[in-house]
Structure 1
Amino acid sequence: MIYTNITTIKDFMILGFPGLDPTYYGPVSALFFFTYLVIIVGNIFILVFVRAERRLYKPTYLIFCHLAMNDLLFGTVTLPKMISKYWWDDKIISFGACFTQMYFVHSLGAINSLLLLIMALDRFIAVCLPLKYPVLITNNIISIACGLSWIGTFLRMMAVVIHALTLPYCNSNIIVQCYCDHISITSLACGGNVKYVQTVAVGLAMFSLLLPLSFIIFSYISIFVVVLRIPNMQGRYKVLSTCTPQLFISCLYYLPRCFVYLANAIGFSFSLDIRILLILLYSLLPCAVNPIIYCFKTKEIKDILMKRMKNAQVGMKQVSK
């Protein structure tokens, strides 16, 4: 068969869960809406709270703000279309909108990975090189590092999208996923270059995932070694408590992804619906849960929240009198 460099597809159709009975579309759309609401409220709260509390103008909380912004954007890029697909049966997405969504989905995923690397570096220097921490980790340095992560990734992902656009799209227009991603889109392309474009994209994705993960593992192993050398249990607990939120957030992001990739590598296959569900879980669950981790696993934020709640209770009692 001879392929021409002509794209015949004008729109894509988001299939979502192929095995889902239409009677469950309402509950699924409600679940997606509730998830989006949690993501919006939780992450905007973190951004506003850190902005309002001058005591939180520290490198660690600046990283939290960048992560909150990333999670907020990821939910906004993916969930509205998923909600409308199951709520109003709005499953059509234009060619350009699908590629735009793919661009932001993969960009924000890669940025998240880099932000977790910066967060691990922050804790590594704080625990392993405490005397150098005030010099090496400042608000300006963290802002520059996070800013470069955003800018560099957006530029790099533009090349990935342009590479995918060089393919002719003349096969089926059905996206077997709840949102547009690189594999789902390029699987609909035709021509001999499809595998090459997919391999390049997968290679870049693995680089974005595994390089930060390698340093994160190294940093936390180094931290645990330092902690084990602390003679008293109270000192160990104090140091570990400063790293617990970051460790939880990193595990929530990487462990499900590594499980899916490892399962594929050893030949363990999931049904299509289960695979889509796993992808949604590791993509959206951190966006919704991260603000809770920031609030209840970060001592400084928790202390400020508790103090404000007590002051509010005292104020209410005085008003009632």
Structure 2
Amino acid sequence: MIYTNITTIKDFIITGFPGLSPEYYGCVSFLLLLIFLAILFGNTFIVSVIIYERTLHKPVYLIIIYLAVTDTTFGIVTIPKILARYWWNDMKSSFGACFTQMYFVHSLGAFTSSVLMIMAFDRFIAIWLPFQYPVLITNKSVCVACSLCCVVTFTRMLGLVLHALSVPYCNLNVITQCFCDHVSIIQLGCGENVAYVKFVAFVNAMFSLLGPLTIICISYLCIIIAAVKMSYAERHNKVLSTCAPQIFITCLYYVPRCFVYLSSNLGFTFSIDVRVIITMMYSLIPCAVNPLVYCLKTKDIKKVLVHRFKRRQIDVAFKLDNKHNIN
């Protein structure tokens, strides 16, 4: 095959789930629609609760807002296109649109990793330096930290995309994935620099994942050590229950990704279908499940929701009683 140094393709073809039989298109697209609605309404609900409930205007819940907005944006960026593929057989994505989607997919993923790191650091300060916590961790400091991570991450990922654009794309344009990502796109590149671009992208991915993950693991390890040293069982349980939602969300995000990277480096190979399914699961499931974790496992949010639900029941009962008395 003869390669040129000029990009000759104008569109990419997104296959979705490669081995999926047409008879299952309806079921799969319906499931994806449910996940999309869960991401959209679940995270919007959490953001609304935190914004409108003054008792939740605290640094830890501001971090949750950043995470919820990021999850919502990721769902909007990825799911509609794959739904169009199965509903209207729209498999084409223009060259520019595909690279734009790749930029947001990786930027949002790396930013999520940074937000989880800030969340772990917040809990570490709360447990180990409780008296300094109100001074060190404020709404303003959290907002500045998250905004700074956002700017740095999106700028860094712009370099990743521009680096991928430096590679010519000559003959192949079929992406065996549900959305445009760096791995799927760069495999279609031609020329001598493809291997170097892959290496730079791998180093960048390891920095985005393992850097924050190291800080997260150290933070939660210190929290667990602090909890074990506590003399009162009540305080011990309180610490673990406070950090449990954050630990669960972090595991939900990192464990599948680490499994995929480690498996690849240890020589384990997956079929294309399995790889696509795993990628979709670790990309979308955390975005849909996180709001449920906040509601069920976060004490303050659960308390607010229960209080509002009970108050609404009392208001309804009072109105019905008044109506009955009038009649």
Asked if 1 retains the 8 angstrom alpha-carbon contact of 2:245 and 2:297, the reply is yes
Find runs of 4+ consecutive structure 1 residues off by over 6 angstroms.
Answer: none
Q: CA deviation at 1:149?
A: 1.1
Aligned residues: 321
SS of corresponding position for 2:188? coil
Counterpart position of 2:313: 313
Q: CA deviation at 1:129?
A: 1.4
Tell me if structure 1 keeps the 8 A contact 2:256–2:282.
yes
Q: CA deviation at 1:171?
A: 2.3
Correspondences of 1:270-289 after superposition (within 5 Å): 270-289=270-289
**Is the CA contact (8 Å cut-off) linking 2:4 and 2:170 kept in structure 1?**
no
Q: Distance in 1 between matches of 2:36 and 2:3?
A: 41
Residue 315 (structure 1) shift: 1.3
> What does residue range 197-216 of structure 1 map to in structure 2 within 5 Å?
197-216=197-216
Structure-to-structure mapping, 1:166-315, within 5 angstroms: 166-315=166-315
Secondary structure of 2:131's counterpart equals helix
Paired position in structure 1 for 2:324: none
SS in 1 for 2:17: coil
1:251-292 Cα shifts (integer Å, max 9, x gaps): 110011111111112212221111110110000001000011
Report sequence identity in percent.
Answer: 56
1:115 aligns with 2:115: yes
Mapped partners of 1:201, 1:16: distance in 2 = 23
How far did 1:5 drift?
A: 2.2
Structure 1 residues 205-256: Cα deviation after superposition (integer angstroms, max 9, x where no partner) = 1101001001111111101111011112111001111111111110110011
Aligned residue in 1 for 2:55: 55
Instruction: For 1:28-67, list aligned pairs within 5 A.
Output: 28-67=28-67
Query: What displacement does 1:117 show?
Result: 0.4
Q: CA deviation at 1:121?
A: 0.4
Aligned to 2:13: 13
Letter in 1 for 2:225: V
Q: What secondary structure is seen at the aligned counterpart in 2 of 1:131?
A: coil
Write the distance in 1 (CA, Å) between the matches of 2:81 and 2:53: 35
In structure 2, distance between residues paired with 1:100 and 1:308: 42
Give the CA deviation at 1:2: 5.6
Partner Cα distance (1:15, 1:145) in 2: 38
> What is aligned with 2:165?
165
Show the counterpart of 2:130: 130
Which string of whole-angstrom CA distances, capped at 9 and with x for unpartnered residues, describes residues 126-159 of structure 1? Answer: 0011121111111100000000111111111111
Root-mean-square deviation (CA, aligned residues, Å) is 0.9
- Amino acid paired to 1:49: V
1:14-68 Cα offsets, whole Å, 9 max, x none, are 0111111011011111111111000000011111111101111100000000000
TM-score, normalisation: structure 1 = 0.98
- Structure 2, gaps ≥5 residues long: 322-327
Output the TM-score relative to the length of structure 2.
Answer: 0.97
| Distance in 2 separating the partners of 1:11 and 1:87 | 19
**Separation (CA, whole Å) in 1 of partners of 2:176 and 2:130:** 49
